[in-house]
Amino acid sequence: MKKQKIVILTGAGMSAESGIKTFRDAGGLWENYPVQQVASIEGYEENPRLVLDFYNARRKELLHTTPNHGHLMVAKLEEDFEVTVVTQNVDNLHERAGSSHVIHLHGELMKATSSRDPNDPACICELTPEHPDIHLGDKAADGSQLRPYIVWFGEAVPKFEDAVREAATADIFIIIGTSMQVYPAAGLISYIRPGTPVYVIDPKAVPVRSASPVHTISKGASEGMDELSKILLTR
């Protein structure tokens, strides 16, 4: 029998239990920096060394971070369902937990790319735990300065169409740890088929507009995934 397909949209709350801080909970500050200074093309062009150093530090933090129970429970769903994770997070904790199909809407912290054309596949490269830093003078394949493979504010979200295709074929749609305030990610729910059940895991109230039935689990990612897994396996 064909497995049902689950599409899971995850945000910062998914990784919060692993100790990764979110800028939205800090008044627009990310590790004490104004977000526009370290997460916009304008900030990068104004002070590339600051931005490179900022992401070098984030990478070193990530290397000392482990997936939490919520990540592991998301990966475990693959035993019984076809699962696609669409994440707004730039960490690799879903992959490290065992999820095999992850779409990163906002880029990947452990990758670098071209400053000239960030979405050129020929210029996207993996950074390793042994060499996680990007320095001024490091060159991409096209000769431009290497930069973080991160979708900054004001930049296009190239993987969104991939996410739309997955959402449109979902049998179950799950939202974990996202405020549903950041677009285009928040608009993904509008592409699911009418009647597709939606489950929301978040300790805070999350505004979800959908013609489909919405079930809310007011818990963090780990406790919420434990509860939802039991629900899904008895449907």
Number of domains in the chain: 2
Structure tokens at 207: 């505004």
- Domain-terminating residue out of 97, 122, 150: 150
H or E element at residue 108:
strand 107-114
Domain-ending residue, one of 150, 170, 203: 150
Decide which of 150, 184, 209 is a domain's last residue.
150
Residue from 207, 233, 162 nearest 7 by CA:
162
Is residue 182 located within the same domain as residue 213?
yes
The residues assigned a catalytic role are: 106
Is there a single domain that holds both residue 172 and residue 222?
Answer: yes
Strands 125-126 and 5-10: unpaired
Neighbours of 174 (CB within 10 A): 25
Domain residue limits at 141: 21-64+108-150
Please indicate, yes or no, whether residues 89 and 167 belong to a single structural domain of this protein. Answer: yes
State pLDDT tens for residues 34-90.
Answer: 888 899 999 999 999 999 999 999 999 999 999 999 999 999 999 999 999 999 999
Q: What is the CATH number of the domain that holds 228?
A: 3.40.50.1220
Condensed to tens digits (0 to 9), the pLDDT of residues 3-36 reads 999 999 999 999 999 988 765 555 555 667 788 8
pTM for the predicted model, two decimal places? 0.93
Dist. CA 21–CA 167, nearest whole Å: 27
